[in-house]
Structure 1
């Protein structure tokens, strides 16, 4: 199913359709402020397992990330952060960043790798943030990569739909996506941070 949603003014009816799919245990491909992502409700273990099979992810070894609507979810899913790290996150979100943080006990066990961390994203994209807001809890976030040797990420939602329509329950057409992923920042050391991957944007201070 290909669902067209305009980022400037997301249609509430279409948003509700996607939220229902997620609540029913479905998985969706959605736009962000960087590349297109693949996600599901973080509380649905079967949907999480489907995504891991599609992407070849080992949840015990690989870092997994979630998308939140805003920073109100931060204390729910992470351990207490230093003022320095919190200010850094607040300054740069919403935006094209993934912050790796120490996971709290509220994070579903499925997400906890051997390092007991969680990646946090709040994209600057009205579509996915409104979906997460209406769902009421975060969704899994993992990027859609391309098999092409030159292009790492597919930017055309119609081409994404052609490739994944038999693997997912819906693809959201929110316009052409980017081909540069998020900047990944490791904040598991409470005193300082480390750039793990340079992405679309530099951190602001």
Structure 2
């Protein structure tokens, strides 16, 4: 049965954040709010957590997982960023964008796209997500909380608790965070490719 944490959206309680991060460090899988809908998250090296996300979402091995990063310095540890890409990403973060970039050796192979050797990265603007990342001290391996039988992501913490009570270890609820997922931009090639249009403005990539 999942633990349920009701936290303030702007000033999340440190004790609750600490308890959630302890669960993550112990191998737990969490459902948590971001600046563009809820996500599933676990520790970077948590193979069982990765498998649980795949099972919940019914994902194949070509799915791009996302590393939810605290800031640009942390992002730069896990993906290769050229000067041109640096300017594009810096101008768009924090915010509702996921960028697909070539991974560094710090990213476990099982997270990489099997052919491209790329991974998704993101710097969120949500206070709760940032508090979790600050406490954890490393990226959260994440994926949008979109169930196979749903056209839109789940947005209510109580509903997520009801639907995934035995599939996740904790649900963090800080109120409605919307249903529009991130805009996904592939920056692994010479020209940016808009993979998914979502909450982030795409004009600077076109």
TM range (shorter): over 0.9
Q: Which residue of 2 aligns with 1:33?
A: 35
- Give the aligned partner of residue 63 of structure 1: 64
Counterparts of 1:33 and 1:111, CA distance in 2: 23
Match of 2:49 in 1: 47
Structure 1 partner of 2:122: 121
Runs of 4 or more consecutive aligned structure 1 residues displaced over 3 Å after TM superposition: 146-149
Determine if the alignment matches structure 1 residue 13 to structure 2 residue 12.
no
TM-score (norm 2): 0.92
CA distance in 1, matches of 2:11, 2:54: 32
Please give the TM-score of this superposition, normalised by the length of structure 1: 0.92
Please list, as runs of the form range in 1=range in 2, the aligned pairs for 1:120-139 lying within 5 A after superposition: 120-139=121-140
Q: What is the alpha-carbon distance in structure 2 between the residues aligned to residue 192 and residue 113 of structure 1?
A: 19
C-alpha change, 1:11 and 1:30, in structure 2 (3 Å) is: same
CA contact (8 A) 1:97 1:185 kept: yes
Per-residue CA deviations over 1:71-91 (Å, capped at 9, x if unaligned) read 111221112x22221111011
Kindly provide the CA deviation profile for residues 123-165 of structure 1, in whole angstroms up to 9, marking residues without a partner as x: 110111211121111111111125666x512211111111011
CA distance in 2, matches of 1:113, 1:148: 24
Task: Report what 1:197 is aligned to.
Answer: 196
Contact 1:145–1:153 (8 Å) recurs in 2: yes
Gap regions ≥5 residues in structure 1:
none
8 Å Cα contact 1:85-1:192 kept in structure 2:
no
Deviation by residue 1:154-190 (Cα, 9 ceiling, x = unmatched): 211111111011110000001012111100000001x
Matched, 1:167 2:172: no
Give, in whole Å, the separation in 2 of the partners of 1:155 and 1:182: 14
Find the residue that maps to 2:43 and give its secondary structure.
coil
CA distances 1:52-79 after superposition (whole Å, capped 9, x unpaired): 2222223x32211110111111221112
| Number of equivalenced pairs | 201
